[in-house]
């Protein structure tokens, strides 16, 4: 009877974590690397995905084996029934699934499971999950992806790690986007980095501009290496 | 007994709405106008508040009666126990209260009530509630303020009304901030305005730059007029 006393919120989180573990097991067994891409609204999640696809094609033009190596599926989380982001991904020829959270402020593992079931996983090397634009809610829900990636954006200001610490704590990679706007915006990079360092020491960070393409090669090189590592790993 | 069947979520919302109505009643009875200021992280909520205070002082230097007319209290909502924003308001000489939501993605009416109790309401003309940086959660919770104000930010992109429609539906005023960055960012103002118009026809909109001060006078004029209207109204 003691289990009856467990608060409901813990049961929900448990259920989510269990599905998240199943998601990762499925993705790993199919050798599909996956990332959970988080950010504020308008920080450049979809732009980064499109730029990543563009650079991967550029890489592939120099390496005949490359195009077949990296096929990307995208799961787009939105709070409303709009397909603006998913349409952009489809337009560049990659499979995309749109998930409407019905006003909810984050994706959860069950939604991602449903998205995965609509993607041709056997034909993919990488799944990018674009979470709802939000710096609070997504931090609390595991999706089962292999890496948590946050995009911080220069125009958001340099104090965001101090004000939204939870999302920085569980990151594997930080992308600092819109560095092309640095000349026009007061942004103290040292203050920003100090805030990140306190929460997540040594966090791998890529400063980029999805608009100009600056820094994208380093990010895409890291990503392709992770995809290759997963394929090599025979567990 | 039929009330026992009401789902818990409705009870919570009812309780919030009841406290919100009490908040508005208290504020109105004390002739304190109040706004609920919402936005994404880094859209410029605190910057707009500081710029509003600066312009009010500029106005007051031209009108000897003005300084005593507009005394502003600020309730700062944060998801973490940081006082960065509240400290900035205190530094310019206005009373500020910081509310830590404990990781929650929005303020609610009860938190605002607690904040109001720590402000010297009898000495104030205006209370600005700075909500948590979020385009999803704050839309669902009334606070009891007299007006809902959203700051959209140019670098967030022109598609935000389409992707976060709920927050646009219940607005009284829209502020479009960071217009000084328009030369450096692709932003289709017609597409943005069409998205807003569908959700909230005729919405009062102020394009501003909290950095350069452009457009701030029009916004502050509107705000002072609302404060004066509330004082004149003898209900």
pLDDT, one tens digit per residue, over B174-214 is: 999 999 999 999 999 999 999 999 999 999 999 999 999 99
Phi-psi region of A44 (alpha: psi -120 to 50; beta: other; left: phi over 0): left
Judging by beta carbons within 10 Å of its beta carbon (0-12, 13-18, 19+), is residue A147 exposed, middle or buried?
A: middle
CA-to-CA distance for B130 and B44, rounded, in angstroms?
11
With a cut of 50, say whether residue A3 has pLDDT above it: no
Task: Tell me the nearest-neighbour CA distance from A80 into chain B, angstroms.
Answer: 6
Please say whether the structural domain A2-232 has been given the CATH code 1.10.10.10. Answer: no
- B135 at the A interface (CB within 8 A)? yes
The pLDDT confidence band at residue A59, using thresholds 50, 70 and 90, is confident
Q: How far is the C-alpha of A164 from the C-alpha of B124, rounded, in Å?
A: 30
Nearest CA to CA, how far is B228 from chain A (Å)? Answer: 34
Q: Show residues of chain A in contact with B78, CB under 8 Å.
A: 163
Q: For A129-170, how does the pLDDT look when each residue is reduced to its tens digit (9 = 90+)?
A: 999 999 999 999 999 999 999 999 999 999 999 999 999 999
Residue B225, min C-alpha distance to chain A (Å): 31
Residue A71 phi/psi, 5° resolution?
-110, 130
Lowest mean pLDDT among A65-79, A206-220, B47-61, B112-126: A65-79
For every residue of A2-63, DSSP letters joined together read GGGGS-HHHHHHHHHHHHHHHHHHHHHHTT-EEEEEEESTTSSHHHHHHHHHHHHHHHHHT-
pLDDT exceeding 90 applies to what percent of chain A?
80
Q: SS3 string of A183-214? A: HHCCCCHHHHHHHHHHHCCCCEEEECCCCCCC
* Residues B153/B43, Cβ–Cβ less than 8 Å: yes
Mean pLDDT of A179-203: 97
Q: Which pLDDT score, from 0 to 100, does residue A63 have?
A: 67
The C-alpha of B93 sits at a distance from chain A's nearest C-alpha, in angstroms, of: 22
> Under DSSP, is residue A178 helix (H, G, I), strand (E, B) or coil?
coil
Strand-pair partners of A39: A151
To probe the interface with B, which of A136, A150, A210 has the most B CB atoms within 10 Å?
A136
| CA-based max dimension of chain A | 64
Q: What is the pLDDT of residue B10?
A: 59
pLDDT bucket at B70, cuts 50 / 70 / 90: confident
Q: Looking up tokens 């700075």, which residue turns up?
A: B130
In a mutagenesis test of the A interface, which of B7, B9, B41 is the best target, namely the one with the most A β-carbons within 10 Å?
B41
Q: A105–B134: do the CB atoms touch at under 8 Å? A: yes
SS3 of A211-229:
CCCCCHHHHHHHHHHHHHH
Q: How many helices, marked H, and strands, marked E, lie in chain A?
A: 9, 7
Question: With a CB-CB cutoff of 8 Å, which residues 149-178 of chain A face chain B?
Answer: 153, 155-157, 159-160, 162-166, 178
Q: Which residues 6+ apart lie within 8 Å of A208 measured at CB?
A: A48, A175, A176, A177, A179, A214, A215, A216, A218, A219
| Residues on chain B touching A41 (C-beta within 8 angstroms) | 40, 135, 156, 160, 163-164
| Whether A138 contacts A107, CB under 8 Å | yes
Say yes or no for a CB contact (<8 Å) between B133 and A80: no
Global ipTM? 0.82
Q: CA–CA distance from A187 to each of A127, A150, A153, A190, B191 (Å)? A: 32, 18, 10, 9, 29
Position A10 pLDDT exceeds 70: no
Torsion, Cα A175 A181 A184 A190, to 10 degrees, reads 20
Q: Is the distance from CB of A124 to CB of A72 less than 8 angstroms?
A: yes
Architecture of the domain defined by B2-229: 3-Layer(aba) Sandwich (3.40)
Q: Does B78 touch chain A (CB under 8 A)?
A: yes
Are A155 and A108 in contact by the 8 Å Cβ rule? The answer is no
Minimum distance, in Å, between the CA of residue B101 and any CA atom of chain A: 11
Taking one residue from A and the other from B, the number of pairs with CB-CB distance under 8 angstroms is: 110
Please say if the pLDDT value at position A230 is more than 60: yes
Work out whether the CA dihedral A4, A7, A8, A11 comes out positive or negative.
Answer: negative
> Which whole number is the average pLDDT over B109-134?
96
């Amino acid at each position: 009877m003691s289990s009856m006393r467990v608060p409901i919120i813990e049961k929900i989180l448990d259920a989510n974590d269990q599905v998240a573990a199943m998601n990762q097991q499925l993705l790993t067994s199919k050798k599909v690397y996956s990332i959970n891409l988080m950010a504020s609204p308008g920080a450049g999640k979809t732009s980064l995905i499109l730029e990543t696809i563009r650079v991967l094609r550029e890489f592939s033009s120099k390496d005949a084996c490359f195009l077949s190596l990296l096929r990307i599926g995208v799961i787009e989380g939105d709070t409303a029934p709009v397909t603006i982001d998913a349409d952009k991904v489809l337009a560049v020829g990659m499979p995309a699934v749109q998930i409407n959270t019905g006003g909810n402020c984050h994706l959860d593992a069950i939604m991602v499971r449903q998205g995965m079931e609509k993607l041709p996983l056997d034909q993919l090397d990488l799944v990018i999950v674009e979470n709802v634009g939000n710096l609070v809610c997504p931090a609390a829900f595991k999706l089962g992806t292999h890496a948590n990636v946050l995009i911080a954006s220069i125009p958001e200001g340099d104090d965001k790690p101090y004000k939204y610490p939870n999302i920085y704590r569980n990151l594997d990679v930080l992308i600092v986007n819109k560095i092309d706007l640095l000349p026009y915006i007061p942004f103290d990079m040292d203050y920003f980095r100090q805030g990140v360092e306190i929460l997540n020491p040594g966090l791998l960070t890529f400063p980029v501009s999805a608009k100009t393409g600056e820094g994208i090669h380093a990010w895409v090189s890291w990503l392709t290496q992770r995809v290759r590592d997963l394929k090599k790993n025979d567990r």
